[in-house]
Amino acid sequence: MRSLAGLSTSVRTLLTTTAPRLARVHGGLKRRSRLGGDTLVQTLVLGWQSNPRASLRQLCQMAAVRGVAITPQGLEQRFTPSLARSMQAVLAEATQTLVAAHEPVAISLVRRFSGVYLVNTTTISLPAELARIWPGCGGQAGQGEAAVKVAVGYEVGSGTLTGLDLQAGRAHDRTSPLADVT
């Protein structure tokens, strides 16, 4: 397992170097501003880490901690499909960083196969306002309207992440591109 200092360096690189690059590639950063790709990602990640239900005003306070003054309306204008794609890419990169921190399994039984794959899915409830983008499974009135299904693939022998897929919560596990691992 990688040291805590090494993991800390990897996360810092992710939030300061990788995030702006991914924001440019996926269109989440269209113009240069003080709220660049790194600061925007840091604002969202750290803001929601401290409070998963943080309001726009609270996220703006986190941006202020990062040295950027922005209004809730200005921040909301940045919540676009391209920012969502950028954040998904940052999530995939962060997941890969954490998975890479673990050593591959050295069990002789696993080495007998060309690959031992684990795929797991979990569904995370989201605020109802996101139902148009991430439709959920329904359930009781006012609950389950929005959800995201996260599928993660992992190859045990090499210790590598084989995929990360986000789908609408109502999607069946078999519809994930990771469901048919060979």
Of residues 54, 91, 98, 95, the one with CA closest to residue 76: 54
CA distance 91 to 121: 15
Taking the model in full, what pTM does it have?
A: 0.66
Strand 160-168: give its sheet, edge to edge. Answer: 117-126, 146-155, 160-168
Among 46, 90, 29, 125, residue whose Cα is nearest residue 58 = 46
pLDDT at 161: 79
Q: 112, 124, 126, 182: which is closest to 153 by C-alpha?
A: 182
pLDDT value at residue 1: 46
pLDDT one digit per residue (tens) for the chain, 182 residues: 456 676 678 878 888 888 878 877 876 555 566 777 678 888 888 898 899 889 999 999 999 998 899 999 999 988 888 888 888 888 888 877 776 656 666 678 877 888 888 888 888 888 788 888 888 887 666 567 889 898 888 888 777 778 888 889 988 888 888 877 65
